């Protein structure tokens, strides 16, 4: 028996668009992933892009849609203002912005901001964070959400109190694809595995107190020229150096003693698990896809409770 869709929920980022139809319990009825990120969608029209994807899943015309991510940024569909920390995670839901001028009920969840001496922003991760805390009944502690822009958030009694962003994933892509290291890495950027000895070596260098990341990066090229370091080794070493630098920085920033909630999927989860272990941290993994869906579902349930059950 096919269950009817109660909500459509979407994570709409800079480069990716993910859409799920969920039933009244939050189970996935249908799913769609595409490269219709901000740039593509802006050119074509956000409403048109969304409706096309909904039509491909045969979603009814009155199915409400909730969206998180960069679609709510200044360069997105409609700007959903940031909620400043400290913020109750469920409070961000009440700030969801309704899209005007279209027939369908579509809302965009706001991001979080941190002002003061360490200004910071997030969009999309606040929803993933909400889902992860619900999945683990987590009220206090540190949550790490690795990715293009890795987010580390401190929670205290259900409130996000402060957070940091590390440019790890973006820097990896830039260095592997556009710097002098591209000659060492070639097409191997996606081949990194947590068990590669060069990944471990890169981690250990940066977790051991080394401050010379800018120097170690060039060492990858030199190792290729002088020691024939192969592309997979170069990619693994680069990944280890960058993730190791992130973990060392987070350790310094947050003085971590308790278990970290690691919100990640697939290879990313495996790489960060290895890095956290090497850095002496304990962690509990929550699947990132499930977390964002759960957060979106909870947001939808609060906005449109009559449609539930």
Q: Which residues bind a second copy (CB under 8 A)?
A: 74, 82, 113-115, 118-121, 149, 164-168, 170-171, 174-175, 178-180, 210-215, 217-219, 221-223, 225-227, 242, 245-246, 248-250, 252-253
Question: DSSP 3-state assignment of 141?
Answer: strand
Question: DSSP 3-state assignment of 81?
Answer: coil
Whichever of 87 and 300 has its CB closer to a second copy, that residue is 87
* Helix H or strand E segment including 283: strand 283-286
Report in angstroms how near the CB of residue 150 gets to a second copy at its nearest: 8
116-140: b (≥16 Cβ within 10 Å) or e: eeeebbbbbbbbbbbbbbbbeebee
Report in angstroms how near the CB of residue 38 gets to a second copy at its nearest: 12
Whichever of 223 and 285 has its CB closer to a second copy, that residue is 223
* Token representation of residue 174: 């830039």
d(CA 210, CA 248): 10
Whichever of 190 and 252 has its CB closer to a second copy, that residue is 252
Report in angstroms how near the CB of residue 235 gets to a second copy at its nearest: 16
Whichever of 204 and 287 has its CB closer to a second copy, that residue is 204
Whichever of 106 and 268 has its CB closer to a second copy, that residue is 268
Report in angstroms how near the CB of residue 236 gets to a second copy at its nearest: 16
Nearest to 297 by CA among 4, 67, 83, 123: 67
Cα–Cα distance list, 83 to 56, 111, 115 (Å) = 34, 6, 11
Walk across the sheet containing 159-166 and list its strands. Answer: 87-88, 159-166, 150-156, 141-145, 260-263, 283-286
Bridge partner list, 107: 66, 98
Report in angstroms how near the CB of residue 282 gets to a second copy at its nearest: 21
The angle, 0 to 180 degrees and rounded to 10, between the axes of the packed helices 231-254 and 197-207 is 30
Report in angstroms how near the CB of residue 174 gets to a second copy at its nearest: 5
Within the chain, residue ranges assigned H as helices are: 38-44, 46-56, 91-94, 125-136, 168-178, 182-185, 197-207, 213-227, 231-254, 266-278, 288-303
Report in angstroms how near the CB of residue 172 gets to a second copy at its nearest: 10
Whichever of 107 and 237 has its CB closer to a second copy, that residue is 237
Whichever of 158 and 231 has its CB closer to a second copy, that residue is 231
Whichever of 1 and 226 has its CB closer to a second copy, that residue is 226
d(CA 91, CA 87): 7
d(CA 293, CA 305): 17
Report in angstroms how near the CB of residue 253 gets to a second copy at its nearest: 6
């Amino acid at each position: 028996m096919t269950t009817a869709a109660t909500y459509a929920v979407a994570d709409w980022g800079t480069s990716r668009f993910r859409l799920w139809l969920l039933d009244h319990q939050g189970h996935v009825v249908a799913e769609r992933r595409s490269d219709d990120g901000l740039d593509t969608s802006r050119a074509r029209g956000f409403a048109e892009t969304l409706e096309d994807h909904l039509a491909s899943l045969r979603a009814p015309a009155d199915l409400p849609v909730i969206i998180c991510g960069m679609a709510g940024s200044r360069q997105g569909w409609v700007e959903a203002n940031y909620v400043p920390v400290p913020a109750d995670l469920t409070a961000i839901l009440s700030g969801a912005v309704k899209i005007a001028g279209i027939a369908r009920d579509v809302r965009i969840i706001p991001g979080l901001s941190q002002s003061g001496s360490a200004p910071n922003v997030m969009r999309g991760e606040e929803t993933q964070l909400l889902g992860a805390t619900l999945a683990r009944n987590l009220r206090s502690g540190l949550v790490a959400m690795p990715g293009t822009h890795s987010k580390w958030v401190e929670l205290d009694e259900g409130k996000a109190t402060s957070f940091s962003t590390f440019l790890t994933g973006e820097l990896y892509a830039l260095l592997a694809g556009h710097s002098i290291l591209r000659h060492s890495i070639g097409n191997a950027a996606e081949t990194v595995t947590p068990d590669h000895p060069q990944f471990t070596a890169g981690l250990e260098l940066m977790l051991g107190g080394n401050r010379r990341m800018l120097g170690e990066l060039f060492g990858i090229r030199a190792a290729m020229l002088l020691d024939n370091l192969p592309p997979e080794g170069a990619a693994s070493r680069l990944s280890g150096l960058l993730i190791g630098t992130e973990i060392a920085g987070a350790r310094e920033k947050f003085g971590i003693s308790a278990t970290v909630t690691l919100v990640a999927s697939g290879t990313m989860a495996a790489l960060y698990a290895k890095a956290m272990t090497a850095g002496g941290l304990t962690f509990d993994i929550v699947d990132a896809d499930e977390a964002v869906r759960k957060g979106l579902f909870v947001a939808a349930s609060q906005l449109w409770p009559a449609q539930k059950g």
